[in-house]
Each structure stands twice: as structure tokens, then as C-alpha cells.
Amino acid sequence: MKIVFLCTSLAPGRDGVGDYVRQLAGACGAAGHTCLLVALHDRHLASPSALVQRGNEVRFSATLTWARCAHLLADLLRDFDPHWISWQIVPYGFHPKGFLPIGCFALIEAVRAWPNHVMLHELWLGLARSDTIRPRLIGGLQRRRLLSFLQRLRPSGLHTTNEAYQLALARQGWLAELLPLFGNIPVAPVQRAGAVATLETMAGSALPREPRYVGVIFGTVHPQWHPEATLTWLREVAKITGRAVVLLSVGRAGAHGAKLLAQLAGPSSDISFITLGQQAPEMISPLLQAADFGLATHPWALLEKSGTTVSLLEHGLPVLVPRDDWAPRDGTITAERDPLLRKMQDFPPAEFESWLRLRRTPVAQLPSIALTFLAQLSGPAVRGALVA
């Protein structure tokens, strides 16, 4: 097949969906398919040019009018003549307030001649039961604009990443299939002893000697995570097991996360905190393989949309989930969770060591998820996923 992937940005390392598209297209290419990647509204172009093309990637500057963007896109599609066009949508990529601009509806005319598929990576604000009136009002406006876009596009296939979003879409009359995320860190071929040696070299004297348990926090530390209960739980683990507990932060923790981790790493802390920050992907994989468990700061109900949590699982790590503070307004989450995931609230510390023994051999999920994506493009399940 020939597939065009449409997203808003393809800036390497600066746009999560752009990185996702590049990896998915690469796996589709490895399976024998031809892919063209198009960024429709790229705010990260270093070149002053309105259009940059390198290999199979084309990036339109955000300075272009939507009409001009639609004209250029139509020319590209006529030349490439794809079997499918796959939209990878995050509303905030189109507008900083998450409202799809009316102008971008001009893009729909450029794609009507081909089958269209949509992957919704984000929806709208106000999806949680606990949300106040303001995010619900803003979310209502975002929702109307996004659903209007979908209604005009009338895609032949619709995916999202998690059950909460699937429930919200179903309430609006849209039937979306689930396509799981894959991890954003390739699994490095390294033995555990070598991985531990890498960790000890990078952490230096800040890493307590054995016996110890190392937990890794990968990526953004969300401000909704309040660490006090987690630290109390980990202190109980340390007491029961007689081992030191270390929390290792790897990747971009975010402004809030960096400040919080700096506070927690104070000299009076009885839980060791080590912050290694942003690292090259080939260095992150050994660090994940050296750890004993992961710690997710996403809520339990939204773990499916956390690429960092998926990366921890792909590296075989048991993952502790302290947060269960988010519940969808539309229905109840019923999906079964990976046995490596444990919700801290109903997890006795005495079971910690037996849980760690569930650790798996690292396996990347990208190849199998790409094959699922390709199969569903050709199957009746996705072709029938139209507006009700």
C-alpha cells in the first residue's frame, strides 16, 4: 500500500505525535509499504521557507494560510496517489487553544478523492467527572469543532489510543477502534549486567550500594501526582525488604517535575532520588533495563495513552501506579490491565518482591502494532467505523 500520514509537526524530538508518525511509518515501510509523511502546520521549522522536503517527509510552515496549505497538499496527493490517508490528530497542534480553525477545513477538499483514516491522539477538555465548569465549557467548544471536522471528512476508519476516549466518542455517535501505543524508546540489545554497569557509571556515588531496589520515573512528572503517599509506601517496602529504595528520573521531567524532584532529593530524604535528565534513546534503554520497577505519574484510567508507561512495559518492568484520581464522565473503564501494572492503593507492600518476579524479557511492540494498523486498514472493522 501507499499511505500518506498527516500530522501537524515533524520536528524530531519536539513533537510527540510527529515522532510517533515517523516510527509507525518506518515500521510500515519495513513491512513493504510506501509512506509519505506530511506536517501540515509545523511551528518548529528552522528554515524561513514555507515548505521543506527531505526524503519522504514534507513540512509546511505554520506561517502558510490554510488555503495555501490545502493547495500544496492537493498537489502532493495527486502526485503520490495513496491508497490511504491517515490523519494523526492532536487539536492543540492546529491551534494553541485546541480549537480546530475553520480555515483548516479547506484541507478536507484536498483529500476527498482517497480513503481517509483518523487517529485521535487527544480529544477535548472536560472529560473527567471531577472537572469543573470552566474546562467543560472550553471542552464543549473544542468538541464541537473537532466533531464538525470529522463529520465533513467522513473518515472510513477511526482509531484512538484508550478506552476513556473511545467512550467519549461513542457518546457522540462515533465508533472508534483502539490501536495501542508503542514505546518511544527502542529496546537496546544489552544484558542486564551491562545495563546495571551503565547505571552505576552514570549515577556515580549518588547510587546507594546493594542491596537496593531502583525505580525509574521516565519522562514528564505530572503535577497531579503528589508524592507523599508514594514515599510512605516505598518506605514500607524498604522496611519489609531490608533494601534501600532509589528513584531514578530519566528524560524531560518538565518544569514542575524538575522542581519537585530537586526538593525530594534533599539531604534529609530517606528515599534516594537521582535525576539524570534528558538522554539519547540508546542510553535510556539500558537505564530502563537496569531498573527493578517503573513508577507512572499518569492516572490509572489513562495509562493506555502514556507512551512512557508503554516504554516501561516494553522493557519488561513492573510499573507502580500511584494515581487513581481520574474517572471518565462517559461510562466506566473495563479494559483489563497488564499484570505488570499495579495500582498502589490496593497493593500491599508485602507483595512487592513477588510482583518484581513477574518481570519480562524486553520486547518492542512497534512491529506488531504496525501490522495491526495495516491489517485494520484493509479490514471491514475499520472501514465500517463511520459516524452513527
Q: What pTM was estimated for this model as a whole?
A: 0.92
Q: Which helix (H) or strand (E) holds 247?
A: strand 244-250
DSSP letter for each residue of 286-333: HHHHH-SEEE--S-GGGGGG-HHHHHHHHTT--EEE------BSSS--
Gyration radius of the chain's alpha carbons = 22
Give yes or no for a contact between 340 and 315, defined as CB atoms under 8 angstroms apart: no
Range 83-109 average pLDDT:
97
Burial of 191 (0-12, 13-18, 19+ CB in 10 A): exposed
Does the pLDDT value for residue 96 go beyond 70? yes
User: What cell was used for 226?
Assistant: 503528589
For 294-307, the pLDDT digits (tens) are 999 999 999 999 99
- CA 269 → CA 51, 72, 153, 323, distances in Å? 52, 57, 55, 22
Percent of the chain with pLDDT over 70: 96
Neighbours of 30 (CB within 10 A): 11
Given pLDDT bands bounded at 50, 70 and 90, which one contains residue 14? confident
pLDDT at 269 > cutoff 60: no
Rounded-to-integer distance, Cα 343 and Cα 348, Å: 10
| Residues 6 or more apart whose Cβ sits within 8 Å of residue 71 | 110
Residue that wins the pLDDT comparison between 335 and 158: 158
d(C-alpha 117, C-alpha 286), whole Å: 36
What is the helix (H) or strand (E) element at residue 71, kind and residue range? helix 66-80
pLDDT tops 90 at residue 64: yes
Question: What letter represents residue 340's amino acid?
Answer: L
How would residue 388 be classed by pLDDT, with cut points 50, 70 and 90? very low
Arithmetic mean of pLDDT, 331-353: 94
C-alpha cell at 194: 551491562
> What pLDDT digit, counting tens, does each position of 139-192 carry?
999 999 999 999 999 999 999 999 999 999 999 999 999 999 999 899 999 999
289, 250 Cβ separation under 8 angstroms? no
Residue 30 has pLDDT above 90, yes or no: yes
- Integer Cα distance of 325 and 278 in angstroms: 28
326 within 8 A of 301, measured Cβ to Cβ:
yes
Q: Supply the pLDDT for residue 380.
A: 52
* Average pLDDT of span 116-120: 98
- Partner residues linked to 39 by β-bridges: 7, 59
Q: How confident is the model at residue 244 (pLDDT cuts 50, 70, 90)?
A: very high
Q: What is the pLDDT of residue 48?
A: 67
pLDDT tens digit string along 186-199?
Answer: 999 999 999 999 99
CB distance 337 to 296 below 8 Å: no
Mean pLDDT of the chain: 92
Report the b/e string of 275-299 with b at 16+ CB within 10 A.
Answer: bbeebeeeebbbbbbbbbbbbbbbb
Among 128-142, 200-214, 244-258, the range with the most confident prediction by mean pLDDT is 128-142
Cα gap 317→312, rounded to integer Å: 6
Q: What is the mean pLDDT of residues 308-334?
A: 94
Residues recorded for the chain: 388
Confidence class for position 266, pLDDT limits 50, 70, 90: low
Domains along the chain with CATH numbers: 2-182+367-383 (3.40.50.2000), 192-364 (3.40.50)
249 C-beta neighbours (distance < 10 Å), count: 23
Mean pLDDT of 328-347: 92
